């Protein structure tokens, strides 16, 4: 029986809790495919997973996003694929491995214009942004969208998706210098969010808010909405927030929560297939990538944990210099 290598944690902790292990190569069953992983991204949620944030059963192979080639199963050998998986890396072993088995119906074809490292970096950030703006927020052409945390991976993806849908983006960040591509930037360390949004939106307020930060920005985001506007929440730190309920219902505002962890495998494929057209047309662009060799996973996890530069960290089987 052939062997493969995986990164696994058997106790919660810092990135150093990850261990490189050897396992039997899995074999696909009926309706399944064996994917040879070419590249796999490291998301902040992967770092949280290793730390115990999601209470993942152990031992566990983390990793939510991947790109690779189907090498066996369901008559799809040779197809290049990308994406994520339901509970991938949390409820079931994930993509920080040389191979994995997945139901064929959960696997989407990779856009040919993206290389493997770029394709591996799309998953969670773009799935989250798409779920928030398109599926939940129903963004429309001509609308003004406020995106908090616009400098992060989700914020940058949301800006591209909103522009693809012909919407205008006001970004909120902790610095006025921001490479997100938003049409306007509000520095939340120096400016009042609601006041600035009203000024930038002709006194009406934003039509749609994607709050990727939560916590202290949750209530100002609600105040920044126009009458009848909608706000999509994907994060909150701390988890409990306060807001004026009278202002909320008199403003006929709507609040929607989005949880990408709850997406099914077929949900994820449907969303990845919708986004593929944007990447094939060049209106969606992959993020800046920093690649690491597969055996550098601990160092790469540490880089993600530190944060800093707006790049996506990707483990690659064949590292590109």
Q: What is the pLDDT of residues 33-45, one digit of tens each?
A: 999 999 999 999 9
Is the pLDDT at 321 greater than 60? The verdict is no
Domains of the chain plus CATH, in order, are 3-122+286-316 (3.90.180.10), 125-260 (3.90.180.10)
Is the pLDDT at 177 greater than 70? The verdict is yes
Q: Which of 38, 39, 46 is nearest to 64 (CA)?
A: 46
* Pairing outcome for strands 18-24 and 3-9: antiparallel
> Angle CA(255)–CA(257)–CA(261) in degrees, nearest 5?
175
Q: Which of 254, 236, 225 is nearest to 146 (CA)?
A: 225
Phi, psi of 280 (to 5 degrees): -65, -30
298's tokens: 């601990």
105's tokens: 């119906």
Q: What is the pLDDT of residues 122-172, one digit of tens each?
A: 999 999 999 999 999 999 999 999 999 999 999 999 999 999 999 999 999
What is the pLDDT, as a whole number, of residue 1?
A: 58
Give me the chain's average pLDDT, please. Answer: 94
130's tokens: 């798409």
Q: How many CB atoms lie within 10 A of CB 256?
A: 15
pTM for this one? 0.93
Beta bridge partners of 233: 211, 257
User: What percentage of residues in the chain have a pLDDT greater than 90?
Assistant: 86
Tokens 């990135």, located at residue = 15
177 Cβ contact list (under 8 Å, min separation 6): none
């Amino acid at each position: 029986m052939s062997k493969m290598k995986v990164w696994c944690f058997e106790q919660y902790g810092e990135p150093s809790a990850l261990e490189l292990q050897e396992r039997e190569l899995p074999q696909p069953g009926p309706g399944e495919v064996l994917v040879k992983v070419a590249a796999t991204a490291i998301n902040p949620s992967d770092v949280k997973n290793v730390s115990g944030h999601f209470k993942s059963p152990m031992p566990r192979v983390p990793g939510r996003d991947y790109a690779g080639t189907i090498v066996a199963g369901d008559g799809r050998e040779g197809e290049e694929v990308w994406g994520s998986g339901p509970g991938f890396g949390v409820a079931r072993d994930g993509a920080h491995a040389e191979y994995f088995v997945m139901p064929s119906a959960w696997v989407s074809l990779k856009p040919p214009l993206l290389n493997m490292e770029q394709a591996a970096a799309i998953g969670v950030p773009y799935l989250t942004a798409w779920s928030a703006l398109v599926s939940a927020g129903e963004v429309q052409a001509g609308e003004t969208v406020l995106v908090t945390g616009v400098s992060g991976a989700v914020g940058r993806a949301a800006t591209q998706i909103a522009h693809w849908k012909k919407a205008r983006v006001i970004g909120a960040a902790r610095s006025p210098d921001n490479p997100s591509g938003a049409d306007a930037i509000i520095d939340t360390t120096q400016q009042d969010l609601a006041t600035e949004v009203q000024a930038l939106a002709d006194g009406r307020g934003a039509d749609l808010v994607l709050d990727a930060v939560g916590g202290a920005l949750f209530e100002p985001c609600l105040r920044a909405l126009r009458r009848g506007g909608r706000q999509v929440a994907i994060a909150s730190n701390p988890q409990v927030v306060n807001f004026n309920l009278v202002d909320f219902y008199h403003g006929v505002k709507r609040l929607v929560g989005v949880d990408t962890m709850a997406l099914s495998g077929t949900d994820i494929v449907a969303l990845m297939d919708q986004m593929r057209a944007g990447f094939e047309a060049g209106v969606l662009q992959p993020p800046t990538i920093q690649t690491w060799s597969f055996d550098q996973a601990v160092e790469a996890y540490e880089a993600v944990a530190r944060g800093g530069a707006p790049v996506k960290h990707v483990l690659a089987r064949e590292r590109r210099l």
